[in-house]
Structure formats: structure tokens, C-alpha cells
Amino acid sequence: MPLVRIDLRRNPDPDFARRAGEVVYAAMRATINVPEHDNFQLLTEHDRNHLVYDTQYLGIARTEALVIVQITLNEGRTLEQKKLLYHDIAAGLQRQLGVRPEDVFINLIEVKKENWSFGNGIAQYAP
């Protein structure tokens, strides 16, 4: 159910964005009970003029390697789960792809379970 949008600067490796998405999916599986196969992602690479970021907000030194992850998902995850998710995404991106943890920006948008249709025009998660 999560719908993941990942935005980043154009990477010379054509597989980079997709591999970043795999890390995000693995982190969601490990920390917030996302079911196996529940993997839907939109990846966008931008040129310099179309991805704007601050290099120091909250004392964090960001570079043009910034990865912005915005996840729409069902409401109800605890604060503890969210913290684990943030940690695992940043740690995974560092381990798998060499992304500096400072360069991982994450945002969650929470919605109701009835706000999804996974195919066939049916609200599969609705009560």
C-alpha cells in the first residue's frame, strides 16, 4: 500500500534510483509491517534547476546527492516504528549505495485504509 515517490538529482548509474527504491522497500518490510510484494514506486531524476535543497538546515550538511523520499501510507504506525523506518532507510542507502545519511530526506503522508484500490476497481483494504 505505500506509494513511494523518490526524487533525486540525475545519477550517472541508470539503476541507482531503482536500487534506492529497493532499499526503501526493504526498510518498510523490516520496520512498519509492509507485506511482501506491496511495492509501488515512482522515481524521478532532476537536473540542477529542478531539485532545490538547503545545505545546512538543522545543522545537517546536505549535498547534491540528496535523496528525497515521500511515502503515502496507512495511518497508524507508532512513533517508534517511524523512527525505525527513518533509521533503516538512511542506513540501507548508506550501506547499499554509499549515500551519506545527511543526504536522506524522508516525509510520510498518512491516509485511511479505505483510500486505496490495488486493482480491479475495488477498495481491497476497506472494512
**Angle of helix 79-97 relative to helix 16-31, nearest 10 degrees?**
150
* CB neighbour class for 49 (10 Å; exposed up to 12, middle 13-18, buried from 19): exposed
Kindly state whether residue 12 participates in binding a second copy, applying the rule CB under 8 A.
Answer: no
Cα(88)–Cα(23) distance, integer angstroms: 9
Interface residue with a second copy, options 30, 44, 95, 96 (CB under 8 A): 44
Is 2 a catalytic site residue? yes
CA nearest neighbour of 45 among 78, 68, 77, 71: 68
Minimum CB separation of residue 123 from a second copy in Å reads 5
Kindly state whether residue 32 participates in binding a second copy, applying the rule CB under 8 A.
Answer: no
Catalytic-role residue among 2, 14, 35, 127: 2
Minimum CB separation of residue 96 from a second copy in Å reads 14
Q: In the chain, how long is the greatest CA-to-CA distance?
A: 47
**Measured in Å, how far apart are the chain's first and last C-alpha atoms?**
15
Minimum CB separation of residue 91 from a second copy in Å reads 6
The residue ranges that bind a second copy (CB under 8 A) are 3-4, 7, 14-15, 17-18, 21, 35, 37-46, 49-54, 56-58, 60, 62, 68, 70, 72, 79, 82-83, 86-91, 101-112, 114-124, 126-127
